Amino acid sequence: MQAVTKTTQATPKPAKSDHPSGDRRFKTLDMTMKRHQYKPDALIEVLHKAQESFGFLEEDVLTYIARGLKLPLSKVYGTATFYHLFSLKPNGAHTCVVCLGTACYVKGSNKVSAALEEELGIKLGETTADGKISLMAARCIGACGIAPAVVFDGTVAGKQEPEMALAKVKDWELE
Give contact residues for other proteins (rule: CB under 8 A): 39-45, 47-48, 75, 78-79, 82-86, 100-107, 110, 138-147, 149, 155-158
Q: Which is nearer to other proteins, 41 or 175 (CB)?
A: 41
Helix, strand or coil, per DSSP, at residue 96 = strand
126-127 β-sheet, strand order: 126-127, 133-138, 94-99, 150-152, 155-157
Q: Which is nearer to other proteins, 16 or 122 (CB)?
A: 122
Q: Which is nearer to other proteins, 122 or 156 (CB)?
A: 156
CB of residue 130 to other proteins, shortest distance in Å: 26
CB of residue 78 to other proteins, shortest distance in Å: 6
Q: Which is nearer to other proteins, 45 or 119 (CB)?
A: 45
CB of residue 99 to other proteins, shortest distance in Å: 8
CB of residue 104 to other proteins, shortest distance in Å: 8
* Distance separating alpha carbons of residues 127 and 99, to the nearest angstrom: 17
Query: What separation in angstroms does the CA of 93 have from each of 61, 90, 145, 156, 173?
Result: 20, 9, 29, 17, 11
On the 0-12 / 13-18 / 19+ scale of CB atoms within 10 A, 165 is: buried
Nearest partner of 107 among 162, 161, 148, judged by Cα: 148
* Distance separating alpha carbons of residues 94 and 131, to the nearest angstrom: 9
Q: Which is nearer to other proteins, 20 or 46 (CB)?
A: 46
Is the Cβ–Cβ distance between 103 and 65 less than 8 Å?
A: no
CB of residue 110 to other proteins, shortest distance in Å: 6
